[in-house]
Structure 1
Amino acid sequence: MTTNRSEMSRLEGDTPAQRLLALLEVIAGKDQFFTLQGMVEETGLPKPTLHRMLQQLETSGMLQREADGRHYSKGSRLRRLAESLLLNDTVHGARHAVLRKLVDDVGESCNITALSGGEVLYLDRVETSAPLRFYLHPGSRVPVHCSASGKLFLAQMAPAQRRRLLNEMSLESFTHNTLVDPEALEAEIEAVGRQGYAFDDEEFLPGLLCIAVLAPNPDGPSNTGLAIQSPIMRMTRDKALECLPALQRAAEQIAAINREALSDVAQAAAGER
């Protein structure tokens, strides 16, 4: 098989540690399990060398071996590292200010989320001052199939990628509204993809309504969700849709913050060359 030269260039480094990190970067971009032989064909590295590198990553908890003993997937330590980066990035303050302004505008609790495996991870949250509210702190997790943001993340995926993710999960029913039938869930996800926003209508917690959008990313899929949450006694679907323009404006502002941060990183990297 012909060696993928672009992958080989990513594995170049002056030290074994740099080459190990380059391999980890390639693995982090995968959306499915992989084998030693598959990585040999993809990178062109000698099989003994690659086997030793994968063993090092597995021993450190960055990778884990699947039940068949042949396939690898991302390990718990690598997922924790990714989540820590999301929770503690340098643009947190700017995005938090946008979130607080949104809460002031709509009068309900709002949060910023990201996709982490089969779950939606709460990166940040600002609570409403209203006396009745649901407390979900940063670091909280919600299964992707019963989250408004989660449906949007799923809608971005290719159908095969989405099926793989959902097939690995237990579509647990949390309330009488939770979508656990695969066909019903797929129909909901297709509708979400068309309309650009999603609801969680008491699908995770009884009495909680949520509407969400994604911060747009012109370069590809977005991993930043923005949502409004409210008790159903204060919020209906129609009222949530009245809040949609404010939610979309805030999502655009967060997208601009993300782009600026990435531009700063690119400029810094260029200056180091």
Structure 2
Amino acid sequence: MTSSKPEITKLEGDTPAQRLLALLEVIAEKDQFFTLQSLVEETGLPKPTLHRMLQQLETSGMLQREADSRHYSKGSRLRRLAENLLLNDTVHGARHAVLSQLVDEVGESCNITALSGGEVLYLDRVETSAALRFYLHPGSRVPVHCSASGKLFLAQMSPAQRKRLLSEIPLKAFTKRTLTDIDSLEAEIATVRQNGFAFDDEEFLPGLICIAVLAPDLRGGRSNLGIAIQAPIMRMTQEKALQCLPALQRAAKAIAAIDQDAMPQGDSLASSE
């Protein structure tokens, strides 16, 4: 009987600092002590490279060596970082509460998104309790041209900014309804700008409809937060989605107020002058 090789966890990152953070992510998932050799087998990195990375993390207090000098565990600095993050991340908690309340009100999955390069990044998501649903977890990325939130972000840009971005990303067809030419997309963006909301009507995933609005920047600038409701087409149409629009807009304003309250006082004053 042959034993199968463990699956390699590739450390993503273009710089040493990014790869070091990726290694910390691998380590953060462990609930046991680990060795240099076990990480070599898990990541596929050369032993000298990993040894150097572990030395850096140990020196900084992120890791500590156990009594046998072979095994490592999470250091006090890393644990303190995790504790401080959970203790002080009240903005995320408040946003999540608004999102949960929206899901209770409309009965469908809802998410908070941001523009990241040429993609829409899911910052947070609350799933509906309904049996049929689409799973798009926080951290998921969706192309900007076939996302309801993405169209809103594009609509805020100047024509020159939008042209620069769209000329560099492929307008790939994910379904037969995806807008893949600039003229059609520009016409859709003009409608979005006029309406103040956007649809993704089976443009990214077959059977999925989405309606989104932006959380307004109360300082008067451009917003980089989208709030969206997603549902299967067998439960939602565009007409039904529009009935949810007032609830969606209330949630967007609540999240905007949370973000405004979290701004440093100096930034708020400077923006109002």
Q: Taking structure 1 as the reference length, what is the TM-score of the superposition?
A: 0.65
Task: Give the direction of change, closer, same or farther, for the CA distance of 1:123–1:89 in structure 2 (3 Å limit).
Answer: farther
Q: Counterparts of 1:98-247 in structure 2 under 5 Å?
A: 98-218=98-218, 219-247=220-248
- C-alpha deviation, 1:221, in angstroms: 0.5
Structure-1 separation of matches of 2:107 and 2:189: 28
Structure-2 separation of matches of 1:211 and 1:223: 16
SS in 2 for 1:91: helix
Q: Supply the AA of the counterpart residue of 1:129.
A: S
Task: Give the direction of change, closer, same or farther, for the CA distance of 1:238–1:256 in structure 2 (3 Å limit).
Answer: same
Other-structure match for 2:250: 249
Q: Supply the AA of the counterpart residue of 2:124.
A: D
Pairwise CA RMSD:
2.2
- C-alpha deviation, 1:181, in angstroms: 1.1
Structure-1 separation of matches of 2:161 and 2:16: 27
Task: Give the number of the structure whose alpha-carbon radius of gyration is greater.
Answer: 2
Deviation digits for residues 111-154 of structure 1 (CA, Å, limit 9, x no counterpart): 00000000000000000000000000000000000000000000
Q: Counterparts of 1:21-32 in structure 2 under 5 Å?
A: none
- C-alpha deviation, 1:263, in angstroms: 4.0
Other-structure match for 2:24: none
Q: Supply the AA of the counterpart residue of 1:170.
A: P
Equivalent pairs counted in the alignment come to: 187
Deviation digits for residues 18-38 of structure 1 (CA, Å, limit 9, x no counterpart): xxxxxxxxxxxxxxxxxxxxx
Structure-2 separation of matches of 1:201 and 1:256: 29
Structure-2 separation of matches of 1:259 and 1:92: 13
- C-alpha deviation, 1:59, in angstroms: 6.8
Task: Give the direction of change, closer, same or farther, for the CA distance of 1:222–1:128 in structure 2 (3 Å limit).
Answer: same
Other-structure match for 1:45: none
- C-alpha deviation, 1:191, in angstroms: 0.7
Gaps of at least 5 residues in structure 2 are 1-13, 19-87, 269-273
Gaps of at least 5 residues in structure 1 are 1-57, 63-87, 268-273
Deviation digits for residues 191-227 of structure 1 (CA, Å, limit 9, x no counterpart): 1011000000000000000000000114211000000
Runs of 4+ with >3 A deviation: 58-62, 263-267
SS in 2 for 1:134: coil
Structure-2 separation of matches of 1:257 and 1:148: 23
SS in 1 for 2:263: helix
Structure-2 separation of matches of 1:265 and 1:119: 31
Deviation digits for residues 58-108 of structure 1 (CA, Å, limit 9, x no counterpart): 97689xxxxxxxxxxxxxxxxxxxxxxxxx964100000000000000000
Other-structure match for 1:68: none
